[in-house]
A and B are shown apart, each in its own frame.
Chain A
């Protein structure tokens, strides 16, 4: 994690009751333990999300219980459920209105790829066509444990984000956009069908 201090020395100091940390570590520690999700659900995955926030699974253990009804106060967007093409512009707009640093969990098969409704004419085939996704959770719907796991993965990611130097966190880059273009309703599909700067699906090679 830190290059400034030797890991062994750090452990030795810690054994003596002296805690050494860096600004970056302290900052990330604070950030990762108070992720405020945006309070919005789209379909059945939202029920699992609600269960995760309720007493049995209790996302408060990870500091994520403050579901904000305003994107201005949210750090994390949990895209929980089927994204219809009617809903996609609203989601992108909400994402745009969130302040940096912001993260996205794509929860469930539908949010990842359209899931069981992939053939539907009105279903968006994955929210990563329009906004950058940090953690994907497969499942239909994923159980609350899976969401907690995704949350922990996100915490791990936040913890590894660097404030300075090479590999600096993306949101600190001034050139990195904070807003992404909102798709418009076209005659048959959303226009554009995917953000070409963002969406790079793997090429399928047929042999």
Chain B
């Protein structure tokens, strides 16, 4: 009687299971006898940089922070325009000079407005 052609698949599956499980079982046995678990408060701590963790990880930024971010962004973009302006300063016609001056004044006016409104005071809620 010839064995079923599927028998080989069954044998193969058995070996495939035994191949990873055997070392795992051996490691587990080794751990039982020669690797006594020693958990502790420090060892089970989440962070491993040596410094004790303080407070909560899920903190929130104050919503007022977005105003600072926007004001910063305006002057960040302004710097992008100012650098080519400074580089080409000597060769510029008077019209371009006046244009960039108006641009600057507009931004400064915006800053003064925000300042007056109290956007830069951290304690005051707008």
Contacts and interface: CB of A to CB of B under 8 A. Distances in A.
Contacts of B50: 71, 90-91, 93-94, 97
B38 A97 contact: no
Interface stretch (B4-12, B39-47, B67-75, B105-113): B39-47
A136 B111 CA distance: 63
B34 A178 contact: no
B36 interface: yes
B51 A178 contact: no
Interface residues of A, number: 21
A186 B35 CA distance: 36
B38 A178 contact: yes
Main secondary structure of the interface of B (DSSP, over half): loop
A178 to B, nearest CB: 4
Nearest to B42: A96
A97 B51 contact: no
B52 interface: yes
A72 interface: yes
B42 A100 contact: no
A174 B43 contact: no
Contacts of B40: 96, 178-179
A77 to B, nearest CB: 11
B36 to A, nearest CB: 5
A177 interface: yes
B48 A97 contact: yes
Interface string B3-30: 0000000000000000000000000000
Interface in A141-178: 163, 171-174, 177-178
A179 B34 contact: no
A163 B42 contact: no
Interface in A117-151: none
A78 interface: no
Contact of A97 (B34, B35, B36, B45): B45
Nearest to A182: B42
Contacts of B34: 27, 163, 172
A66 to B, nearest CB: 17
Nearest to A93: B50
Nearest to A181: B42
B52 A93 contact: yes
B40 to A, nearest CB: 4
A90 B48 contact: no
A14 interface: no
Given A96-B43, A97-B43, A178-B43, A71 B38 contact: no
9 contacts: A72-B48, A90-B50, A90-B51, A97-B45, A171-B36, A174-B38, A179-B38, A179-B40, A179-B42
Closest 3 CB pairs of A and B: A178-B38, A90-B50, A96-B42
Given A99-B43, A172-B34, 20 more contacts: A72-B48, A90-B51, A93-B42, A93-B50, A93-B52, A94-B48, A94-B50, A96-B40, A96-B43, A97-B43, A100-B35, A100-B38, A163-B34, A171-B36, A173-B36, A174-B36, A178-B38, A179-B40, A179-B43, A182-B42
Interface of B: 34-36, 38, 40-43, 45, 48, 50-52
